[in-house]
Every structure is written in structure tokens, then in C-alpha cells.
Amino acid sequence: MSSGKINVSVENIFPLIKKFLYSDHEIFLRELISNATDATLKLKHLTSIGEAAVEYGNPKIEVKIDKEGKKLHIIDQGLGMTMEEVEKYINQIAFSGAEEFLEKYKDSAKDSGVIGHFGLGFYSAFMVASKVELITKSFKDEPAAHWTCDGSPEFTLVPHDKTERGTEIILHIAEDSLEFLEESKIKGLLTKYNKFMPIPIKFGTKQEALPKPEDAPEDYKTEYKEVENIINNPNPAWTKQPTDLKDEDYKSFYRELYPMQFDDPLFHIHLNVDYPFNLTGILYFPKLAADLQIQKDKIQLYQNQVFVTDNVDGIVPEFLTMLKGVIDSPDIPLNVSRSYLQADGNVKKISNYITRKVSDKLKSLFNENREDFEAKWNDIKIVLEYGMLSEPKFYEKAGDFVLYPTIDNTYFTLAELKEKLKDTQTDKDGKLVILYASNKETQHSYIESAKEKGYEVLLLDSPIVSHLIQKLEADNENLTFARVDGDVIEKLIQKEENQISKLSEDEKESLKTVLETIVPKETYSVQLEAMDSKSAPFMITQPEFMRRMKEMSQSGGGGMFGMGNLPEMYNLVVNTNSELATSILSTENEDAKASLVKQALDLAKLSQGLLKGEELTSFVKRSFETLK
């Protein structure tokens, strides 16, 4: 028998471990199963290179609850430890055996999948246990060892009669951690952290239906047998080669990842690199929920198939955090702060790699089946538009596949749009004017009148579109975007023939005076325009610049523009060539004149969606009166 003091520099490390090692006590199970997995993978490696003359077989890891004895057992069939090794690897805290193994077998073990490298994993058991036993039999021809420690730095180490190879860890669960004796709790943890670990994990049993016998009677009742319950899928899709997977395999893996998700993903991206960093994974473009805030299923981060977190901020570019799927990389430093993470060279490279893979995939989807890509556009646009705004590397590539749909569902790339509009929609300086609407319903009359004049109108209805437009204009000198209700289209787009005003300068002057006395000037500035007589006589527009600034300050950049609450300002555009303009001028009775103007203003407000509440009620009343 040997006993002694665990070799730590701090006199009593255990209270420290309990308090500070991990804020999340539950991760003890992940650590112990990782060790069991490592022990098994190490044995596999040693047998494969002929350094362990034993049968590898089909090893499993078993987790067992002993509720009465208040114990939790974790049993593996890995390489085990000799007495000497227990001394070395268990008693010398913070001496990571995994790291030593990797160092020793540097060249051959690189791909063995060994997990541990912190050297404190085993001791996390003391976060939930008042006493820990370790019974281990090495694959080497040496007696088994029994190590016990009750949470003080004193331990005992004696021989044991265990004969089968492997290690059993017995946790005597502490009074304040009895929840870890609940089957549902352990099952939940195993599914959270170990669902895709590479060695089968057995926990409890389950019922399996026996096949129906050939001569089964009509009232045959299915019979069941108890079989062992394997919790995990040791070969998840992301560890396989893309060439070995069909579309259906990717979809079923999606359902395995997110059992509560009912929609199929739109498409997937298989990530697979080993230089200059190691990373595998599968990302999915999901059908986004209408409310982006309630996306619960997130991208999961794994290291060698061990779940680490679903917070991938800083690792995945922000615009892609709306995607789903898994990323598995041993090269992401985890025990560091987020700000350090962002400064890490590897992490930066990983983030860039992901951006590149996503844009490559989008480009190939666009090239291979444009029709299908267009059909998915509405579901993916918000992610892409956000990417263009936030990720310069993505923006550079976006021209190849980002689409601009018209109100009638024709999809153009920006280059196609420029080509299409270059002769028909330019302003007096030769700039291309791209007309767009943000809402098909409320801007209906403006859209219709633009279409009547033969113009192409885009439907750009994402919440961040004003930011995007601003950026596109800044980067394309010859481009300007104008919302259909932003200004009089005739003023924006150059036409051969200019409308001649029917009214004389004097008449215009007196019309303007009349209008300005009746129309509230805090809100409307009156503009007279000589337009086609068929165009609306009164029209309300909101200057593009004003509206865009207002929208941008609402959707985020508030402080940036320092505009606070901008007042609502509109233009009231009056067509001097309309019959109504002539009628107003020729009406002698002041009251009749005023009510003509008010009625016309209300109609213009109505088509801009600005007539509401009391104003709307009295408008309806007044209109009925005139019908009498």
C-alpha cells in the first residue's frame, strides 16, 4: 500500500477546484468520458502500431447509476494504468498525460483524436463527489491499482484484483450534488456533451421490438426485449468525406442535431481543412423563423467530437451565426476570454475560411441551378445582406450571387441590372437610377405609376436595406437608388420630351400662395411640377435622403448619425398640368377652394398611407356628404 500527499503547490486545491475550476459543475461528466475515450483511442493507436499486443475488439464506455449507494460509475475498456502510472498521471495534478502521449507519439498520434490537454479534467470529479475511487488495470501485464481520495490532498493507492483491462471511476456523489444520481439528469448531460463522441457510450437499457414471427396469430402482440442503450452516434456526418454523403444524409443529420426542428434546411456547406488549421463541420442555411430573436438552435462547437459550447461568437463571422450546424476544431483555444479569441491568429483564419466556403457555396448554387437559388432567395437574403454590410471579404464576392428582385419576381444581379437599365433609367448626370419599393401594398399606387411609365421597380424589403443601398451607392459612383415614393419620377429620370406647363408663371405663383395658406407648412413643402396630365394631381413624397437617414438611425446606427428623432417631413407635389390645378385656380368661393384643396390633400395622404384616426374618419364623412 502506498499513501501520500497529492503533489500540488497549493495546500488544499480541492475547495478551489470545487469553486473555480469550472463554473459549470456538470462538465465533470464530459471530462471523465473524455478521459475514457482518450484511454480507448490510445489503446487503439498502440495496437495499430504494434505496441500493445492485445485484442482491441469493440470497446465501449459504460455509465451506471447506483442510486442506493449514491455512486456514479464510469467504466472504460481502454489502456488502463499501472500503479506507477497512477502515481504519475493522477497524483501529479496539472500534469497532463494526454499532452505527454501526444508529445511522445507526435508523428503517429496526430490524428488519433485524443482530447485531453488541460491536465485538470480528472479532478473536476471533485466538483460533485465527496470521494473518488479509481480502479484500473493496464493492458500491460501488471496488477491492477485502486486509488482512493476523499477530497483532501491525502490519497491511498493499493493493488486490486480487477482482471479485465480498463478503468472504472467511482464517484461518491456529494450531498449537495445528488441531482447527478437522477437518470434523466445524466441522460440529458450525455446527450448534450457526448452525443457524437467516437466511442459507443452505454447508459441503461431500452426496449427493442422483436421481429414478428411468420406464423403470428392475428391478435399478435409485439414482444420486446431489453437491450443495451447506446447514447451516441460515434460516426457523425461531419467526420465523413463529402463524397460519401448524399443530400438525404445531410438532411437526416440535421434532424439528428436538432430533433425539434421540423423544416428541412435550405442547403448545407461541408467544411473540411487540415492546413493551416484543423477544422471539420457542416453548416446549414435554415429556414429562418420570422422572429430572428427566437432562433434557439445554434451552431454547435465541438473539439474532437466532444461538445464544447453553442456560443460561437468570434469564431464564426457574426453574419453567419444565424446558420445552424457543427464546427469541430481542436485548434480553437477555449480557456481564454472572447476578446483574446478574436485576436488569435488561428481563429481569424478560421473565420475567414468559413466566410470563403460560404461564398463559394452560394456562388456554385447560383451557377448550377439559378432557378432554385432564386426560389430560396427570400429565405437567405437577410443573412447575405447582413454579410455584405459587416464582412468586407464577403462583400467582395457577393456580386456573383446576390440578387435584386423586381416587384414582379424577376431576379437580377447588380451587373445584370446595370446592363438592363443603362439606356432607360438614367438621370441628367448619366447616373443609373434604380427605383425600388419596400412594401408592395402601401406603395402600390407609386409602383403602378412607375410601371405605367415603363420603369423597372425592385422590391427591397429587408429591414437593413437602407444601409445596404447606402453602401452600394458609395461603392458604385454611377448608381443611385430611389424609392418610388421618394420623389417625382419624371424629375429623377431623364426623358427626351419635357412637359410644357399649361399654367403661366403668374398663375403658378397664385396657385402656390393658395396652397400654402391651406396646407400645414410644418409638415409639407409645396412643389409645383408640370407633369403628364394623366399623372396624379396631388402626390406626397418623402425625400429619399431624409427617409433613409431616419431609417438608418432607427435600425441601429442611431448614435452614429446623431439625429435623434427626426421630424416627419414630406413634399406635396402638385401637377400643374392636371385639371384639378386649373379648377382650384378658377374657383372663386374661398370656402369651396379650401375644401377642394383639403380633399385632394387627403386623397394624396390616403395613397401614401398617411391618413389615419380622426383625420380618416372626417375624410370618410366628408366624402359621403359630397355623394348626397
Q: Does 151 bind Mg ion (CB under 5 A)?
A: no
Helix (H) or strand (E) holding 348: helix 345-368
Collapsing DSSP to helix, strand or coil, 327 comes out as: strand
| Cell numbers at 565, concatenated | 428623432
Instruction: Choose the binding region for ligand ADP from 116-124, 189-197, 314-322, 326-334 (rule: CB under 6 A).
Output: 116-124
Cβ of residue 172: shortest distance to ligand ADP, in angstroms? 17
CB 523 within 8 A of CB 568: yes
- Residue 325 binding: pick among Mg ion, ligand ADP, none (C-beta 5-8 Å cut-off by kind): none
117 binds ligand ADP (CB under 6 A): yes
Cβ distance to ligand ADP smaller for residue 80 or 281:
80
Q: Does residue 139 bind ligand ADP (CB under 6 A)?
A: no
Min dist. Cβ of residue 99 to Mg ion (A): 10
The three cell numbers locating residue 449: 405609376
611 binds, among Mg ion, ligand ADP, none (CB under 5 to 8 A by kind): none
Matching residue, cell 499501472: 82
Is 97 a residue that touches Mg ion (CB under 5 A)? no
Give yes or no for residue 317 binding Mg ion (CB under 5 A): no
How many degrees, rounded to 5, is the angle at CA 402 between CA 401 and CA 405?
120
Which residue has cell 490524428? 111
Contact residue for ligand ADP among 8, 73, 102, 118 (CB under 6 A) = 118
Cβ of residue 36: shortest distance to ligand ADP, in angstroms? Answer: 5
Residue 116 or residue 537: which is nearer to Mg ion going by CB? 116
Backbone angles phi, psi at 562, to 5 degrees: 55, 40
User: Contact at 8 Å (CB) between 59 and 199?
Assistant: yes
Which partner in Mg ion, ligand ADP, none is near 167 (CB below 5 to 8 A by kind)?
Answer: ligand ADP
395-422: burial string, b at 16+ Cβ within 10 Å, e else: bebbebbbbbbbbeeebbbbeebeeebe
Q: Residue 144 carries which side chain, given as an amino acid letter?
A: A
Nearer to ligand ADP by Cβ, of 116 and 314: the residue is 116
CB atoms closer than 10 angstroms to residue 236: 21
For residues 145 to 174, the per-residue mask of contacts with ligand ADP, x marking binding by CB under 6 A and - elsewhere, is ----------------------x-------
If the CB atoms of residues 32 and 173 are measured against ligand ADP, the closer one turns out to be 32
Q: Which of residues 31-60 bind Mg ion (CB under 5 A)?
A: 35
Q: Which of 414, 405, 415 is nearest to 437 (CA)?
A: 405
- Distance CA(371)–CA(273), nearest Å, equals 31
Query: Which range, of 96-104, 208-216, 251-259, 334-342, touches ligand ADP by CB under 6 A?
Result: 96-104
- What letter would DSSP give residue 498? P
Would you count residue 386 as binding ligand ADP (CB under 6 A)?
A: no
455 binding ligand ADP? (CB under 6 A): no
Q: Total number of residues binding ligand ADP (CB under 6 A)?
A: 22
Distance CA 486, CA 497 (A): 22
The candidate with the shortest Cα–Cα distance to 477, out of 408, 429, 545, is: 429
- DSSP annotation string for 433-449: EEEEES-TTTTHHHHHH
Q: Contact between 89 and ligand ADP (CB under 6 A)?
A: yes
Report the interface residues with Mg ion, using CB under 5 A: 35, 116, 121
Chain positions contacting ligand ADP, by CB under 6 A:
31, 35-36, 38-39, 76, 78, 80-81, 89-90, 96-98, 116-122, 167
